[in-house]
Structure 1
Amino acid sequence: MCAVISLAVCSAKGGVGKTSVVLGLASAALHRGTSTLVVDLDPQADATSGLDVIAQREHDVAAVLRTPKRRVAEDAVAPSGWVDDQPGLLDVLTGSDASADLDAPGSDEEALTALRRALRKLDDHDLALLDTPPSLNGLTRSAWRAADAVLVVSDASRFSVAAVDRTLREVRALRNAPRVVGILVNRFVPRSGEQRFRYEELQSLFGDLVLEPVPDRVAVPQSQGAGVPLHALRTRPAQAVAGQFDAVLDRVLLQA
């Protein structure tokens, strides 16, 4: 992807707040003035909604995956409502429920490389954040092919430990595999003994890849409900969580 750093944010398990992590990273990038493209590969298109995309486009990410040409890709990109007065600083390759038709587990090579080919034509951002579905099927695998780095999102539960292990094994089995920059435990409740146990289990299994967990804070849904970046909230809890996303973004930019 030329000089663009691309990060695939993924999870094999639903309900861990993967898209919330993408929005947190987008907020961190915006806060520091890093030009960012969010690619919404999840058929639920929550990142498109969360980034307050209002502009209507003739094409969307499903059309881009079917026809990865420059004119189609450029027409599928819309500005985030977070940056009304700064065009190009935060854009979205808009999501669509039509992308579910492309999420087959046995996608062929042409389908898996379509996103990479399309993103090479969208090279006027410093960072691309690829929000994937909660699965390891065709859309997630196409993101891995397009990415320089992978961030695995988890929660502190028994089933997520197995999901993280499966994700890492499948990423590392790829030829020219992207770098895994970390495992981010989201919605962590430190007073829960079970969650502390599972977090320590992840640390014992995956060592330094396990990042400082993001606590379960009301500031995150508050920012999403208000349609504003997390960094725009001035409360102390919001700023603490925003600082954690700053640290994760620093790690991505340093290691990707």
Structure 2
Amino acid sequence: MQVVATLSLKGGVGKTTVALGLAGAAAAHGIPTLLVDLDPQANTTIATDVDPTTGTIADVLDDPSRSSLRRAIAGSAWNEALDVLVGTEQNERHNHPDPSDKQLDRLRRALSRLDDPDLGSRVGRTATTPGDPYQLVIIDCPPSLGQLTRSALAAADRAILVTDPTMFAVSGVQRAFDAVQSERERGNQELQPLGVLVNRVRPRNIEHDYRIGELRELFGPLVFSSVLPDRSAVQQAQGACLPIQAWDTPGAREVSAVFTALLGRLLRSRSRTRA
């Protein structure tokens, strides 16, 4: 099981869009996936049109047990390969600015219990390796560096740093990169930044070209060569509670291709680690 966090310490850059797009790409390729909605806004949960549950991720962070997980995981109407650990505004009570190590470890402990055969609610144990109903876990973090985001980094193998091509992009990426490094120093040696993904890019925009160049000058190959174009199809698909992969327009196909490439890079990074 591979765990990836979508991370931004600057609000409004499309971090949730990236989590949803990556989840949609994985599900479209038949990869059993769990999408974890840590953001108190719970937009990921709304957009994936989940089945009703009797629990949420806030309950799991109160009690990271198999029974709590079982109550908080829902199937998504998007695809049978996608389940969601549902979010709620109550997540905010777990977003302490100075959490203890025990608090930071609760999400990792909960995810380690995903080997329960009853948890693959719609995917099924046979879809992946025995004892593990999910091949991929995607964590959508809130845009702040409190307990929730740090918990995600404590549980993750990889982090995707999301930004947009504005004058604040460099400082936001630097803070996110520093957060990844801090978590590695705290104890999660498996954690690595997968890369920086620039979202909402407009072609032939001088300011956007300049900011992307600035990011590449400072962060080098960590910045993905592919960027996410600014397309209205993204908002349209989310408004219809559909994955971008199911929205049949040229703009949607353009965005979907970026997410397919991102998924491939993520899966290859796991293979290299194992090798």
| Residue in 2 that maps onto 1:10 | 7
| Residue in 2 that maps onto 1:205 | 218
Instruction: Please state how far the C-alpha of 1:9 moved relative to its aligned partner.
Output: 0.4
C-alpha distance in structure 2 between counterparts of 1:227 and 1:65, whole Å:
26
C-alpha distance in structure 2 between counterparts of 1:206 and 1:68, whole Å:
36
C-alpha distance in structure 2 between counterparts of 1:158 and 1:65, whole Å:
36
| Residue in 2 that maps onto 1:162 | 171
Superposed CA RMSD: 1.1
| Residue in 2 that maps onto 1:39 | 36
Instruction: Please state how far the C-alpha of 1:167 moved relative to its aligned partner.
Output: 1.1
Alignment partner for residue 69 of structure 2, among 73, 81, 86?
Answer: 73
Look up the equivalent residue of 1:201 and give its one-letter code. Answer: E
Alignment partner for residue 115 of structure 1, among 107, 115, 140?
Answer: 107
C-alpha distance in structure 2 between counterparts of 1:56 and 1:235, whole Å:
31
C-alpha distance in structure 2 between counterparts of 1:99 and 1:237, whole Å:
34
Instruction: Please state how far the C-alpha of 1:205 moved relative to its aligned partner.
Output: 0.6
C-alpha distance in structure 2 between counterparts of 1:80 and 1:102, whole Å:
25
C-alpha distance in structure 2 between counterparts of 1:34 and 1:227, whole Å:
20
Task: For 1:1-256, list aligned pairs within 5 A.
Answer: 4-53=1-50, 55-83=51-79, 86=80, 89-122=81-114, 123-174=132-183, 175=185, 176-177=188-189, 178-211=191-224, 212-256=226-270
Look up the equivalent residue of 1:47 and give its one-letter code. Answer: T
C-alpha distance in structure 1 between counterparts of 2:192 and 2:238, whole Å:
29
| Residue in 1 that maps onto 2:120 | none
Structure 2: any 5+ residue segments left out of the alignment?
A: 115-131, 271-275
Look up the equivalent residue of 2:209 and give its one-letter code. Answer: R
**1:35-75 Cα distance to aligned partner (Å, 9 max, x none):** 1000000000000001011x222210001011000000111
C-alpha distance in structure 2 between counterparts of 1:59 and 1:234, whole Å:
34
Instruction: Please state how far the C-alpha of 1:124 moved relative to its aligned partner.
Output: 1.3
Q: Answer with 6-15 or 233-242: which moved more.
A: 233-242
Instruction: Please state how far the C-alpha of 1:225 moved relative to its aligned partner.
Output: 1.6
C-alpha distance in structure 1 between counterparts of 2:182 and 2:143, whole Å:
19
Percent identity over paired residues:
44
The number of residues matched between the two structures is: 248
SS in 2 for 1:220: helix
Instruction: Please state how far the C-alpha of 1:173 moved relative to its aligned partner.
Output: 2.4
C-alpha distance in structure 1 between counterparts of 2:60 and 2:164, whole Å:
31
Structure 1: any 5+ residue segments left out of the alignment?
A: none
Look up the equivalent residue of 2:11 and give its one-letter code. Answer: G
| Residue in 1 that maps onto 2:122 | none
TM-score, length of structure 2 as denominator length: 0.88
4+ residue segments displaced more than 6 Å = none
Q: Answer with 15-24 or 166-175: which moved more.
A: 166-175
C-alpha distance in structure 2 between counterparts of 1:246 and 1:23, whole Å:
12
**1:174-212 Cα distance to aligned partner (Å, 9 max, x none):** 233411001001111133211111110000011111112
TM-score, length of structure 1 as denominator length: 0.94
Instruction: Please state how far the C-alpha of 1:172 moved relative to its aligned partner.
Output: 1.1
